[in-house]
Structure 1
Amino acid sequence: MKKIKYWMFAFVISFGLASCSDDVEEPQQKGNPTMQIENQFTNVYFGDNLPFEVTVNDNVPLSTLTAILYFGEEQVARTTIRTKENGLYSGNIAVPYGKNIPNGTATLEFSLLNTTMKKVSQEFSVPVSRASYPYLILVTADGSYPMLPTGEPNEYAVTSAFPSTELPAYIKTPVLDSKGREILFGWNDGEGGIAEGTSNNIPFVSPVGGSYSVTFNTRTLEASPFFEVVLNGQKMTMVDKDNYQLDVDLTQGEEISFAGMTDWWVDPDFFTEDGDKITFVPISGKYRVLANLPFNYLKVEALTGSNPSTLQPDGTGAIWIIGTNVGKPSVSKNEVGWNTDKALCMAPVGNKKYQLTVVAGETVSADAINFKFFHQKGWGGEYGSASLTTESDIIFVGNGSNGRDNGNLGIVEGETLTAGKTYVFTVDVSAGIDKAVLTVEER
């Protein structure tokens, strides 16, 4: 019996030692990988496809050849080639174009690895600059126009009697040499502004008709002409030809200056108008102001950092409206509906109260409503009959069995809103966000 125990103990020790040995064992590196870079990396421009040829050799099988391009410490491009045998290999590595990157010296590193993990590396300093093109090409639906250097750094322009003050177009470069490529500049639909690598039309707009100039800077990607909307002296960012936006800190009671749009619709939840004086209504904070040209409408949304605010457990933040029969500046032309992108931010007026002001027959339907309150600009937290109550004689909160889905608002049977009358919906969460109280005041 003792012998059996001893044998088992010895087996366990032996197995344990073998396991430890396996854990620490590393493959032995062998061979002597060498490489000869055949290129001289000169006259390199942002946006180039930089070619290379490398002769590789080793007395054991090779694995891979890798080229890595660095701007400073940042790796910006990488190409890997499988090297099955000794010989000459060719490839290319893409030099990023990049906005606002200054001319400078990049580092191009080549690494050759064999199958035993032995490696050799070699680095090259590569001066990279922004190309001085003899011209750019402005491409419109009606034709192409050469844009010539203006004499200002990286700036090009064309002046012509364009067919309209609105000029949707994109811009492209010529190909300068064998390593160059055609670079496109178009509109960034997601974020607004001009981006490299797209042919989406840039919504150029001239304030005057007839002959005018189009300009473009290949480093800053700034261009003109565009319609300008200015709020408190700050130029709003063009999202597309119809919409501009600006993230800005605003103070309650602050006088607002605004230029670029005329006869714009003043939202009484966010602005009061006294002659030429416009004053900001909600509590002080950071807001996103969105200017919509077709509706002459300034839409305002509360922000936390750079994101739309959400309702916080302490009752601060924002409350949003999604649903039908409501819309600014006109329910008939711009109804919110169940599209979360069009959600309305209620004005935070202080003391954890949030306000929506509407006019029956204009910004809210007079005979029926069917919208509800949400904790965020999108699906997620929302108010239902258990967390929202009202003593209104006109508006009720749906519970799923009284003619409206849970939390959706409706007009009491037999009642209507009076056309032309103003109604102020206020949600008070000062007693807790799960004890919200809705009041509706007719003015």
Structure 2
Amino acid sequence: MRLLSVAVLASLLPVVPSTAFAATAGTTYYVDSRGGDDAADGTTAATAWKSLEKVAAAELKPGDTVAFKRGGSFTGPLKLEANGTAAQPITVKAYGSGPLAKISGTDDDCVVVNGDHWKISGLRASNCRWAGFELGGDSNELSRVEADRNIAGVFVTPTGSRNTIRDSVLTDNNRMSVNDDGGDNDSGAFGVLLNGDDNVVTGNTITGSFAKSADYGTDGAAVEIFNGDRNKVTHNISRNNETFTELGAQKGKTAGGNLFAFNVVTSSRSRGSFLITRGSRHIVGPVKGTIAVHNSVYLPAKDTIGWSCHDGCSPSILKLRNNVIAVGGEAGWEDGAGADEAGSVYQGRTATFKLGPKSVVADPKFASRTDLRLRAGSPALGRGVALTAKWYGGKAFGKDVKGKALSGPLDAGAYQQ
């Protein structure tokens, strides 16, 4: 039997367009609270839907997009339950001109994401029941959103993991969920609250996480971690929050291996702190493996503290490298075996900890009260100790708060000159 050549065989095969194996483009659905109509098909700006209920009822598929017209206003919740994929996430974005579309409503959380692989941007969540944005799914990205007047601007639930919260503005999330006398249990006023694992909070501006508290006088945190492991909190700007971060875990749970790197923390409030963590003797301790590296902090009021590692502090609880921390109160406080600390500059009325290698107590010479870049002659210049990429979360995070790559002798703090 005669065999056909490869060329002849190829000529007999059907011609397949080169785009046939490319990812199928999804459908874009438009939502306009003012001019939309839920009876329309939603697939053009001229035939936009009107309500969040129409979005929730849609059978969204990987690669689809939901576009919200700027200037709109909705009563929540917006519930996002479908799943995208890593290659084809489901996207939420803004279109048109003007302020971001606002979702509010005190009967429910405003934007609730229980699906996986969403890329959400271009929304504002304001004055919601508890959280502006609630992330209960995996591998979602929240970027360029706004959240204000909530108990938590962004809440990552215990089931939420591998999510990214970036380049967003979280302002005056200043309400308490528990605020009663006694019990040491007041809670609220969070820019971001992390209960899940392996999340990234980066490039955000977080301000005004602060509220009156019956138990504590005032309370609040830019980023609070409770029962969350291996989260990375990097390259954020924090202004006028009660504290930058506080960590805890209920008995039987953990909040281990969390990282804080290249954050800039300032405040004009009468009290405040940068980092609060606990040892095994505390009711919400031990919190193990926290790392704080290359942060710049200026809290000039008297009732302030740079960092506190108490109720059984040890190097397994807290490690600090290459920070610049200037406060009007306690620069740092430790008990027990103490934290593992090096390469930093501290300024404060008191300092209850042992300085590590290359660390000094001195005026860091910040450019101003709000600009924490270093002036000429700063003792922080060249002060840092050499670090591997693991210290700051991997090579992708190896840059200062303005994006400058790390090279040569390291300066302490979030800025490299």
Bigger strand fraction: 1
Q: What TM-score results when the alignment is normalised by the length of structure 1? A: 0.29
